[in-house]
Amino acid sequence: MPISNINIVILENRKENYHSKSDAIDCYLIRNISLVESKCQPIGCVMDVGSLSCGYYQIKLPYYQDCGSPGRDWKTCADDYSCATTCVKNYMARYGPHSGCPDTCETYARIHNGGPNGCNNPNTIPYWHKVQSYGC
């Protein structure tokens, strides 16, 4: 089997294992959310549904507060990949276990998009499909 095929098999096997909480907030899901939200770029803030969304993950102020407010401030953190990633992981760890949904990539992506109860909101399903299209 060529090395490129081996790598594909390894990645496919790894994706199949994203069914536990710790794996669900793994770097692949986080990367895919960043791809959907900003194409993995520090894009600053944009108006979205009546309030500002900022940075790599398009983090809103209440989300930033719920994730524990890491870093110096919301907008700076949102445009710093490491800080913003910490915020997203904290948010998912806070709300995922209490969502009543299974510990899967889908649950965590939908919580990111729709808030603490996002995995139960059918309006977050198209968002999940975008995240999923990047390979999650």
Q: Catalytic residue at 37?
A: yes
Catalytic residue selected from 12, 16, 26, 48 = 48
Residues 6+ apart with CB under 8 A from 70: 77, 83, 86, 87, 90
Instruction: Supply φ then ψ for residue 69, to 5 degrees.
Output: 50, 55
- Of 26, 37, 79, 103, the active-site residue reads 37
The two structure tokens encoding residue 64: 């930033």
Give the H or E element holding residue 87. Answer: helix 81-95
Residue 121's SS3 state is coil
Q: Catalytic: 12?
A: no
Q: Which residues are catalytic, by number?
A: 37, 48
